Amino acid sequence: MYYIGIDIGGMSIKGGLTNEKGEILFRHTVVTGSYTKEHTIASDLCVVVDELLKQSGISTAELCGIGVGSPGSIDSDAGIIRYSNNIPMEKVEISSPLSQKYGVPVSIANDADCAALGEQRFGGGMGKKDVILITLGTGVGSGFIIDGKLYSGRKSAGAEAGHMVIRTGGEKCNCGRRGCWERYASASGLIRQTTAVMGKYPDSLMHKIADVEGKVSGKTAFDAAKQGDKAGAKVVKQYLKYVSEGIINLANIFRPQFILIGGGISHEGDYILKPLQRSLNSLTYGAKFNPKVKLALATLGNDAGLLGAAALNM
Amino acid sequence: MYYIGIDIGGMSIKGGLTNEKGEILFRHTVVTGSYTKEHTIASDLCVVVDELLKQSGISTAELCGIGVGSPGSIDSDAGIIRYSNNIPMEKVEISSPLSQKYGVPVSIANDADCAALGEQRFGGGMGKKDVILITLGTGVGSGFIIDGKLYSGRKSAGAEAGHMVIRTGGEKCNCGRRGCWERYASASGLIRQTTAVMGKYPDSLMHKIADVEGKVSGKTAFDAAKQGDKAGAKVVKQYLKYVSEGIINLANIFRPQFILIGGGISHEGDYILKPLQRSLNSLTYGAKFNPKVKLALATLGNDAGLLGAAALNM
């Protein structure tokens, strides 16, 4: 049983041929192009599929399906990319041309959703049926697995937990609202919070760390806090409060077995997991008598999306 | 095809015998008692069922099932009331004793969840598969129907959208968090907001309205605003902003066809629906290219829970 998973990114389109255990047997990557109505991204997806079939020597008869993860708003039922902002695309057919060419089922879903599915099947959430993946990176991504199945809202147009307001009247978000979770819990948000506190604490270790690194990053405050810097600890505490607000909101609505944390910030590991788990244990609604929600790290890194895309047909 | 639905409330336990169209053919209500380990609420449920069977002359062979809606945290799989605060109960078996006695399927779910199911099957959300019911009353209740089925979180321990923080660091909620939606969007929240603004505007019409009514209520600011009172309009505008924050958060995660508004505040009708719909249309994530979410009123009033409980077995 072989599967192809393809993860469309702003820079590259990464494909992998996997088995049903989620082992990636062959890989092929192409550079993301710019696409027109005539030359759509589907042609580049075919390049990836052709190469994977060639490398592996596997025929389409042995292939159970092709799965595609794409940024933007995806209509999974219709098999189209409804709209993508990152790689400019509107109403691009994917499933139909690929399934006609290869004669296998072709599925498409949002890339964050694929990452969640990948983690639930083969990564940090393996063996659990109700898993939410939160990625704390440039933005805040989210993917939901309910009862073992990907849930991305009606017509795959939901699952945008990063655009849940946690601070009415707060910072302006590029989605048009104010106070979205993404503004506060993303690495970009953390950098803004770090910079603001650094301005108030000229003696903070954070200045030295940023000088050495050449910039303020999502690690600056964490590194300073770990070395006992009070201003750094202040930033971290406030940032984790913001992260926990959204996590507990989701726990109160979905009560999953696992909430997995991925993205750049997840490299802080236990340093963030432990305080977040404490907040979750004490502040989730009816925490004493209701099933627990466990936090854990996403484990598949950059392969989560590709593996989840492959899993769309498993 | 006959069904029994029972809605457990703090004051009364209301039962109804319905057909598959959601028509209530017979009713029986008993006063909610206080229960012990030996004398559980199950005995009162039996009183209701017995009376409905007697009134209707229907035998258990013609009965497709008994559904129960209860406040608190329900374990629907195990058929027990896990915990209820309102009517003090802990780990009370419901499905097992009732199904043994009557020989029919017995289902139990949270009362707000039942109300959502009732509205989706027979009320404001009829014919739609993805419906969220929000009740703006003493608290903020929520129930979720996804793809035609009741969704109440893993082990029925979720769906608590009222305890989604929309204002980090805001008002203290009795769930232990600060800034929950319920604190701002409930009728109780509106009354607090009204009272606060009245304190700043001694000439506001709200004072007269409250005097006539004998108290500040969830209607005071609305009534004043409708008569051109600026302070009243200010309260209403801010209150609807709070309501919209939670509604748009849920739209961004679930993207349902309908979000239904029930509870006392819903009597304001179009006066609240229209501005809320405008906010939803403009601020939902990717509003331009994604499927629309429509707001509407819940229509079943106090029967929503009973009918939803009956529908648990349909």
Q: Which residue has the tokens 């550079």?
A: A31
Contact (CB, 8 A) for B145 and B132: yes
pLDDT at A300 over 80: yes
- A-contacting residues in B 256-275 (Cβ below 8 Å): 256-257
Express each pLDDT in B165-209 by its tens digit.
999 999 999 899 999 999 999 999 999 999 999 999 999 999 999
Instruction: Quick: pLDDT tens for A62-91.
Output: 999 999 999 988 999 999 999 887 788 999
Residue-averaged pLDDT of chain A: 96
Nearest residue in A to B281, CA atom: A176
Q: Which residues of B touch A249 (CB under 8 A)?
A: 163-165, 249
Q: Kindly report the pTM of this predicted structure.
A: 0.94
Mutate to test the interface with A, among B243, B245, B250 (most CBs of A within 10 A): B245
pLDDT band (50, 70, 90) for residue B9 = very high
Distance from CA of A244 to the nearest CA of B (A): 10
* Per-residue pLDDT at B280: 97
Q: Which pLDDT score is estimated for B130?
A: 97
pLDDT band (50, 70, 90) for residue A296: very high
A248–B165 CB contact, under 8 Å: yes
Quick check: B254 and A158 CB within 8 A?
Answer: yes
**Chain A residues touching residue B146 (CB < 8 angstroms):** 146, 151
pLDDT tens digits along A246-263: 999 999 999 999 999 999
Asked if A294 reaches chain B (Cβ–Cβ under 8 Å), the answer is no
Q: Does A139 touch chain B (CB under 8 A)?
A: no
**B253–A160 CB contact, under 8 Å:** yes
Residue tagged 């590709």 (tokens): A306
**B158 closest CB neighbour out of A168, A176, A252:** A252
Q: What is the pLDDT of residue B305?
A: 96
Q: Express each pLDDT in B69-89 by its tens digit.
A: 999 889 999 999 998 877 889
pLDDT at A292: 94
Q: What is the pLDDT of residues B145-160, one digit of tens each?
A: 999 999 999 988 889 9
% chain B with pLDDT above 70: 100
In angstroms, the separation between the Cα of residue B60 and the nearest Cα of chain A is 33
Tell me the count of A-B CB pairs closer than 8 A.
Answer: 137
Preferred mutation among B182, B253, B282, B283 to probe A, highest tally of A CBs within 10 A = B253
Q: What is the band of B288 on the pLDDT scale with cuts at 50, 70, 90?
A: confident
A255 lies within 8 A of chain B by CB: yes
Q: Is B285 in the A-facing interface, judged by CB distances under 8 Å?
A: yes
Residue B52: pLDDT over 90 = yes
Residue A290 has pLDDT above 90, yes or no: no
Residue A123 has pLDDT above 80, yes or no: yes
Provide the pLDDT confidence category of residue A241 given band limits of 50, 70 and 90: very high
pLDDT score, position A83: 86
Question: Would you place residue A283 in the very low, low, confident or very high pLDDT band (cuts 50, 70, 90)?
Answer: very high
Nearest to A253 among B159, B179, B257 (CB): B159
List all residues 6 or more positions away from A199 whose beta carbon is below 8 Å from its beta carbon: none
CA distances from residue A124 to A134, A240, A279, B190 in whole angstroms, order as listed: 12, 21, 21, 43
Give A98-122 pLDDT, tens digit per residue. 999 999 999 999 999 999 999 999 9
Q: Please check the confidence at residue A165 and state whether its pLDDT lies above 90.
A: yes
- pLDDT for residue A312 is more than 80: yes
Give A-chain residues touching B149 at CB under 8 angstroms: none
Can you give the pLDDT at residue B87?
Answer: 87
Q: Output the pLDDT for position A275.
A: 98
Asked whether the predicted pLDDT for residue B100 surpasses 90, the reply is yes
Q: What is the pLDDT of residue B84?
A: 86
Cα–Cα distance, A206 to A51 (Å, whole number): 47
Q: Is A112 on the interface with B (CB under 8 A)?
A: no
Contacts of B177 in chain A (CB under 8 A): 248, 283
- Asked if B187 contacts B218 with a C-beta cutoff of 8 angstroms, the reply is yes
CB-nearest partner of A253 from B153, B168, B287: B153
Handedness of CA A280, A282, A285, A289 (dihedral sign): positive
* Window A:155-184, CB contacts with B under 8 Å: 155, 157-161, 163-168, 170, 175-177, 179, 184
pLDDT in tens, A5-37: 999 998 999 999 999 999 999 999 999 999 998
pLDDT at A87: 87
Longest dimension (CA), chain A: 66
Per-residue pLDDT band for A289 (boundaries 50, 70, 90) equals: confident
B161 closest CB neighbour out of A153, A245, A253: A253
- ipTM for the predicted complex comes to 0.94
pLDDT-derived band at B109 (thresholds 50, 70, 90) equals: very high
Q: Is A146 on the interface with B (CB under 8 A)?
A: yes
The span from the CA of A105 to the CA of B4, in Å, is: 44
Q: Say if B82 is an interface residue toward chain A (CB within 8 Å).
A: yes
DSSP secondary structure string, B95-112? HHHHHHHH-S-EEEEEHH
Residues B25-44: what's their mean pLDDT? 94
Task: Search chain B and give the residue with CA nearest A128.
Answer: B154
What is the pLDDT confidence band of residue B286, given thresholds at 50, 70 and 90? Answer: confident
pLDDT for the residue A287 = 86
Could you read off the pLDDT of A183-237 as tens digits, one per residue?
Answer: 999 999 999 999 999 999 999 999 999 999 999 999 999 999 999 999 999 999 9
**Percent with pLDDT over 70 in chain A:** 100
Q: Are A183 and A171 in contact (CB under 8 A)?
A: yes
The tens digit of pLDDT for each residue in A34-67 reads 999 889 999 999 999 999 999 999 999 999 999 9
Phi–psi pair at A93, nearest 5 degrees: -75, 130
* Residue B169, pLDDT score: 97
Predicted local confidence at residue B83, as pLDDT: 86
Burial class (CB in 10 A: 0-12, 13-18, 19+), B294: middle
| Token duo for residue A32 | 């993301």
Q: Residue B27: which pLDDT band, with cuts at 50, 70 and 90?
A: very high
Helix (H, G, I), strand (E, B) or coil at B138: coil
Please count the other Cβ atoms lying within 10 Å of the Cβ belonging to residue A214.
7
Predicted pLDDT of residue B217: 97
Residues of chain A positioned with their CB less than 8 A from the CB of B289: 73, 82-83, 90
Measured between alpha carbons, how far is residue B56 from residues B23, B25, B27 in Å? 14, 8, 9
Say if the Cβ atoms of A160 and B248 lie within 8 Å: no
* CB atoms closer than 10 angstroms to residue A201: 17
d(CA A162, CA B312): 33
